[in-house]
Amino acid sequence: MLEQIADLVLVTDAQGVIEYVSPGSERTLRLAPASLLGTALGQVLHEDDRASAHVELEQLIATRIGDFECEWRLRRGDGSYALLDVRACRISDPTHPRRVLIHGRDISRQKRTEGRLTFVRSIFDHLYAACRAGVLVVAESGDVRYYNKLMLEMWDIGRPEGLIRSELEIWRHVLRVLGDPGQFLETVRELARDRGRVHTWRVLTSTQRTIECYSAPLSAGADSEACRFYCFRDVGYETSPAEGIRRLHGLATIGRVALGVGRELQNVLIPVGAHAQLLGSELSKSHPLQEHATHILRATQRCRGLIEQLISAGREATVQRRALPIGGVVRETVGLLRAAVPRTIDLSVAVSAGIPLVEVDPASIEQIIFNLVLNAAQALPREEGKITVTVTPHSVANAGSLGAQFDGEASGLRLTVRDSGEGVDPAVAERIYDPWFSSSRRSDSCGLGLTIARDLVVRHGGHISVERLPTVGTAVHVDLPAVDPANERQSSAP
């Protein structure tokens, strides 16, 4: 049987001298079997492989049982080297003690092909990096065949510990970033059904970045699984130069105005807080006005924190985050807001059970709730209606876009502020996050509430979206990721 196989088969003695060579040497090493008989194996091995091969063979002979696998480079008749996938074992025949059987399969061509593919892949990586495009290739089975570094950066996937193998894992991250995950997922499903379709479309992220998407089928050979190619290019926060200039002018206005106005407001709030503190110290703890004095002092402190963050709106703010259940923060903040919202508005709060821990800055969460509730109050006609603040466990599946295949534990929480107003006009929906823009007719609406809230949510790794309710009113959703249980255990370890 050994005479028929194309692979190389050798038998050596305890000193590594070759005693048998199969005819496969002519194909593998381009040498006749007779030319190798009596030759020491080390003379045929590449000099960099000799030391390790000597150790491996000695250990194999000493243990008498077992085998080993490795890769060796053996010299061909023309002086070049063949790379062999080698498996060696000791012969148990008593008539041939301390003999070793070596089987080698030539993998030189396979390695050259892998090297060329690595080279081509490197070229494509540089090509897509030059045009700032994220690339993803997935097979029909749902296995990920390729993705580049920009794909991870564009969709805030981070750096996974190992390779991402599943298409579903990629889409989980993508959907969390998008403003309308349901529409994107439906497009991906249509492309999966129509295998030959080439499609180009655009999507908006929750931070109003525009991503240009392209997808096309990849032709497959007879023995290869068909794949689909995706290319994503970030074209910025706006779709036209004029819109980009308008946004820059708005942000520049914030920088100029906020500093002066903020300092003046701080000067006003200092005596207000001091008088509230003095009033509280003069009153007994059981006095009915003691609670009001405490509320005034807390509200003053929060307003000063708001002004500090407004002043720093033009630079990256540093927030002090810690893992906590935010139910208590939400209830306390809504309680303070009851004094700021007209009594004709029904303001309620509901926190569901099983809310996961989130890593947040409590002051930022309070500010987000303040901005969203006051925005909702301004949207109510004649200062009458209902505002509901809810906190619920939330996963991507809860968004109603993924289906049963993504069911599982909540991956975060959703803070929602609903009002019974007239809803957001679709004509201005794209501008609701712009600084100084407001659809409210009230003169005290400055148009900064959603702008600041969105920036704070993004800094916490979450996203914000606005939903026009089917009947009446608007719902603003803030989705925040839960604390990684592994990180939570690590941080709580002594």
pLDDT tens for 158-180 read: 766 667 888 888 998 899 888 88
Residue 253: per-residue pLDDT: 64
Residue 238 phi/psi, 5° resolution? Answer: -135, 165
Query: In 3-state terms, what secondary structure has residue 157?
Result: coil
Cβ neighbourhood burial of 163 (10 Å; 0-12, 13-18, 19+):
exposed
CB 182 within 8 Å of CB 401: yes
Query: In 3-state terms, what secondary structure has residue 456?
Result: helix
List the domains of the chain with CATH numbers: 8-106 (3.30.450.20), 115-234 (3.30.450.20), 241-317 (1.10.287), 320-492 (3.30.565.10)
Residue 230 phi/psi, 5° resolution? Answer: -125, 140
Residue 396: per-residue pLDDT: 47
Residue 130: per-residue pLDDT: 52
Residue 397: per-residue pLDDT: 39
pLDDT tens for 80-114 read: 999 999 999 888 777 766 788 899 988 888 877 77
Residue 160: per-residue pLDDT: 63
Beta bridge partners of 233: 133, 212
Cα–Cα nearest to 109, from 83, 128, 79: 83
Task: Please report how the helices 327-337 and 362-379 are oriented relative to each other, as an axis angle in degrees rounded to 10.
Answer: 40
Q: Which amino acid makes up residue 493?
A: A
Name the strands in the sheet holding 81-90, side by side, starting at the edge strand that comes first in the sequence.
18-21, 8-12, 100-106, 81-90, 67-75
Cα–Cα nearest to 23, from 45, 1, 38: 1
CB 105 within 8 Å of CB 29: no
Cα–Cα nearest to 128, from 152, 145, 112: 152
- Please state the pTM of the whole predicted model: 0.41
Please give the helix or strand (H or E) that residue 326 lies within, else none: none
Residue 382: per-residue pLDDT: 73
Residue 444: per-residue pLDDT: 46
Residue 440: per-residue pLDDT: 56
What residues in the chain have per-residue pLDDT under 50? 222, 238-239, 314-317, 396-409, 443-445, 489-494
